[in-house]
Amino acid sequence: KPPVLLCDYRAPAWRVTDVELEFDLDPAATIVAARLAVERDPSEPAAPLRLDAEQLELLDLRVDGRRLAPEEYRFETDALTILLAVPRARIETRVRIAPDTNTALQGLYASGGGQSRFLLTQCEAEGFRRITPFPDRPDVLARYTVTLRADKARFPLLLANGNADGAGDLDGGRHWARFVDPHPKPSYLFALVAGRLESIEDCFVTAEGRRVRLFIHAEPDAIGRCGWAMQCLKMAMRWDEERFGRCYDLDVFHIVATHDFTMGAMENKGLNVFNAKYLLADPERATDDGYRHVLAVVGHEYFHNWSGNRVTCRDWFQLSLKEGLTVYREQEFESDLASRTLRRIEDVRVLWRAQFSEDAGPLAHPVRPDRYSEINNFYTATVYEKGAELVRMLASVLGRDGFRRGLDRYFERNDGRAATVEDFLAALEEANDVRLSPWLAWYAQAGTPTLEASERYDAAARCYELTLAQHTAPTPGQPRKQALPIPVVVALFDERGARLPLRLDGEAGTAERERVLPLLTERATFRFVDVPVRPVASLLRGYSAPVRLRWNADADDLAVQIRHDDDGFNRWFAADALSRRLFAQALASGAPDARQLDVWTRSLAQALADPALDPALVAEMLSIADAGSLAEGLVDIDPDAVHVARARVETALAQALAAPLLARYGELSGATDAQAVEPAAQARRRLRNACLAAVCRADPAQLPLAAAQFAQARNLTDRLGALSVLLSAQAAGAEEALDAFAARHAGDALVLDQWLTLQAVQPHDETVEHVAALTAHPAFRWTNPNNVYALVGAFALRNPRAFHRADGAGYRFVADAVARLDTLTPQVSARLATAFGGWRRFEPLRRALMHRELQRLAARDALSPDLADIVGRSLA
Ligand code: DPP
Ligand code: ZN
């Protein structure tokens, strides 16, 4: 199948204005009757009506009430094409589908087991065509009326998008319910749910005075854990009103939890469907990170109601238009409600680990790709996380008020429309009277820019020169790169941490204390005058652009930043830079430089002793980057050497700080807020766990502390933190602790997923066999994406040591899993296969072994389009 190209975009020849759907729901065989009001674009007099259709059994087809003869239409494996001479018509179809056997989890499928097995849908990106024949593309917006009929005892709850419009009983123990969604929407936002679920209800009054009923529905054993999500929903609704002036627009908002889902959650209009992992939370069964993920994802999906639903995407090339913007809004939401610094550090870590490595390999693509073979493979770190960074840069360039004005304009201009990145930039431009067209290059160009900084201080002239230069390496299909606009936020400090003035040569007026240096060309020098002493520069503050910073800052200058920078993110950024440098030295020569190591450990000792510093920030400073992130940018990677060098640096820190770490651990252990979920309580637990890990690393004789914490834990964060320490130390009693944990949480799928992950990420040789054995554990099913990601995904993507075992056993295990999953859930198999994407960057032995597994996958019969695309691009 040839790829879809952005440059081939054409507006739809036929529009659908209204859709009426009737479902006779049954897990084995559901009948879907559709009535579409279609209209031809007058400029397309000859175009037939093409309806996407996959895996549908066509029972009936009529146009304006008349059954069509076989020569009047074509029904192929992916489309139903009708030759129509009239400019508008009523199309009626009836199809049969089989939700029960739908393991792809796209379209209508079944979730759960036994009594509570229920039916639900997932349509983004192209699942609606597995429900009914339809022009399944985001620029066809229609009004939907949906009627559901089902057995009342098995499916007491019936839901679809929009407001309820009647319900009643039918003969034979069946019942019906109808829903009308007044907002025209693309088909990917369609949803229905039918089942025996329990519900909680709340209410929200919008700033416009609309009374909205809020519901969360979940299986009976889960409904007691939905209270936090409901609180998060109300916080999100209020925040979007206050920060961005966006109000909710229906009388009801539903959220449904499922354990069988290929993604995190889905923003279907008025009927969000959530992976239970991002919805359920209580202290016994969710970690602090789990609570924060619920806040972030509930916010994310709710924010899509404007950035995605009211204003949707013209085509899937524009996916980042909704995802980058919504991730940005989600980040701001959590930053306003919890710790801005912590959220920023975590986002940057994810960007470096997942997006930079994507950009450095064969799967690199621009934030707005210009081609795709399988759109499911473009729900990537580039589209989401880098896309959010682009929005963040635009927001910083326009300022808080300017960005708000621009976004208001964007929503107002494009409400009810399917928009493009150009529409977004045009709204920001017009509202601020600026030119933003250079920013399009950020959307079109793949690859991570390297930003090189160098400095020169002239004491006699009291002048400080900062030279910035950018370079982007070629990526597949883009051999030559252009310079991008890079906003470099900077401040200058003296060595005691006092701010120095920032006056550029030739400027008058009072000097600023922080400013954005716009790098618009390949290279530029910024000359600051009246600088009284040699300054310590704090660059790229708040991580103001998604670039790789190359800057050979003096270790003592980095120490000044770690100690004094008033941007919490840059304190961490400086500590991270120093630890990466020590890692590189250990990798090159076996040991980090003693003097720089000393500078680093003394700075962190001060941070640890500083009672005024956010404990979460201290914890992050103590946690050095994972091996994958440290290896990013290297060639001929030897994973064993990376592991050893990283461990050296980590152990050196733990040993240097052993006493203060132990003391701080003790102090934090007295806390009485074991079940509190406020950010401050979470931050203390985070630091306490970081201290415990380091203390036990420095001295295995301290492992009884971990055993004690495990035994006494009153929340999942403490229990898992301790278990992790016991496992990675291969402590006596670790096996018993694992078993005790599994027994305590038996039957709780989400907690057992974390238990599986903890075992999958252990950097030991025998983890390969252990993980393979765990696939036979009752807590693991190949058909459940959460299980697969928790065990096989964690092993393949987060355990470089064991995945890259020198005999190739890790590769073989993962490739076999990918092949097996491809016949069940192709989206999941394709995502796992990205673990092989970086194969060319490894040393020759691993490179050959990974290459062989990719070839073995490529040679299989009947690969899914999803997997064929990833394997094909990886080998190209
Ligand atoms: N659109 C979903 C989300 O990112 C993913 N399918 O929220
Ligand atoms: Zn999203």
Ligand nearest to the CA of 307: 2
End-to-end C-alpha distance for the chain, whole angstroms = 17
57 phi and psi angles, rounded to 5 deg: -100, 115
Mean pLDDT of 144-163: 98
Verify whether ligand 1 is closer than 6 Å to residue 330 (CB atom). no
Predicted confidence at residue 510, as pLDDT, reads 81
Q: Is residue 672 predicted with pLDDT exceeding 90?
A: no
Predicted confidence at residue 671, as pLDDT, reads 80
Verify whether ligand 1 is closer than 6 Å to residue 267 (CB atom). yes
Residue nearest to atom 6 of ligand 1 (CA): 266
Separation of CA 322 and ligand 2 centre (Å):
7
Taking only the tens place, the pLDDT of each residue in 691-722 is 999 999 999 999 999 999 999 999 999 999 99
Q: Which of 301, 323, 334, 389 is catalytic?
A: 301
Tell me the one-letter amino acid at 238: R
Map out the domains of the chain as residue ranges: 14-303, 312-444, 450-545, 553-656, 752-876
Q: Which atom of ligand 1 is nearest to the CA of 122?
A: 6
Verify whether ligand 1 is closer than 6 Å to residue 503 (CB atom). no
Taking only the tens place, the pLDDT of each residue in 736-756 is 999 999 999 999 999 999 999
Predicted confidence at residue 298, as pLDDT, reads 99
Contacts of 58 (CB under 8 A, 6+ apart): 75, 80, 93, 94, 95, 133
Q: Is residue 62 predicted with pLDDT exceeding 90?
A: yes
Taking only the tens place, the pLDDT of each residue in 492-539 is 999 999 999 999 999 988 888 899 999 999 999 999 999 999 999 999
The CATH classification number of 752-876 equals 1.25.50.10
Mean pLDDT of 12-19: 98
Taking only the tens place, the pLDDT of each residue in 288-335 is 999 999 999 999 999 999 999 999 999 999 999 999 999 999 999 999
Q: Which atom of ligand 1 is nearest to the CA of 301?
A: 7
The pairs formed by 285-290 with CB atoms below 8 angstroms and a separation of 24 or more are 285/225, 285/716, 285/745, 285/748, 285/750, 285/751, 286/225, 286/228, 286/716, 286/750, 287/715, 287/716, 287/717, 287/720, 287/754, 288/677, 288/682, 288/685, 288/686, 288/715, 288/717, 289/717, 290/716
Burial of 171 (0-12, 13-18, 19+ CB in 10 A): exposed
Q: Is residue 565 predicted with pLDDT exceeding 90?
A: yes
Verify whether ligand 1 is closer than 6 Å to residue 263 (CB atom). yes
Burial of 207 (0-12, 13-18, 19+ CB in 10 A): middle
Tell me how far apart the alpha carbons of residues 775 and 757 are, in angstroms, rounded to a whole number: 12
Res. 447 pLDDT band, cuts 50 70 90: very high
Mutational pocket test of ligand 1: of 301, 303, 305, 325, the residue with most ligand atoms within 8 Å of the beta carbon: 301
Separation of CA 384 and ligand 1 centre (Å):
9
Q: What is the ipTM of this complex?
A: 0.98
Separation of CA 190 and ligand 2 centre (Å):
15
Separation of CA 58 and ligand 2 centre (Å):
33
Q: Quick one: what percent of the chain has pLDDT higher than 90?
A: 98
Tell me how far apart the alpha carbons of residues 787 and 774 are, in angstroms, rounded to a whole number: 11
Mutational pocket test of ligand 1: of 323, 383, 385, the residue with most ligand atoms within 8 Å of the beta carbon: 323
* Structure letter (DSSP) for residue 535: P
Verify whether ligand 1 is closer than 6 Å to residue 329 (CB atom). no
Ligand nearest to the CA of 265: 1
Mean pLDDT of 678-695: 97
Predicted confidence at residue 751, as pLDDT, reads 98
Q: Which atom of ligand 1 is nearest to the CA of 300?
A: 7
Separation of CA 327 and ligand 1 centre (Å):
10
Separation of CA 261 and ligand 2 centre (Å):
14
CATH 2.60.40.1840 fits 450-545, yes or no: yes
Fold assignment, 312-444: Neutral Protease; domain 2 (1.10.390)
Q: Is residue 670 predicted with pLDDT exceeding 90?
A: no
Predicted confidence at residue 1, as pLDDT, reads 81
Verify whether ligand 1 is closer than 6 Å to residue 323 (CB atom). yes
Residue nearest to atom 3 of ligand 1 (CA): 266
Mean pLDDT of 466-491: 98
Q: Is residue 413 predicted with pLDDT exceeding 90?
A: yes
Ligand nearest to the CA of 326: 2
> What average pLDDT is seen over the chain?
97
Q: Which of 543, 535, 350 is CA-nearest to residue 458?
A: 535
* Structure letter (DSSP) for residue 353: I
Predicted confidence at residue 509, as pLDDT, reads 82
In the CATH scheme, what architecture does the domain 14-303 have? Sandwich (2.60)
Q: Is residue 131 predicted with pLDDT exceeding 90?
A: yes
| CATH topology match: 312-444 vs 752-876 | no
Tell me the one-letter amino acid at 543: Y
Mean pLDDT of 848-865: 97
Res. 577 pLDDT band, cuts 50 70 90: very high
Verify whether ligand 1 is closer than 6 Å to residue 94 (CB atom). no
| 301 classed as catalytic | yes
Verify whether ligand 1 is closer than 6 Å to residue 301 (CB atom). yes
Q: Global pTM?
A: 0.98
Verify whether ligand 1 is closer than 6 Å to residue 266 (CB atom). yes
Q: Is residue 115 predicted with pLDDT exceeding 90?
A: no
Separation of CA 393 and ligand 2 centre (Å):
19
Q: How many CB atoms lie within 10 A of CB 724?
A: 20
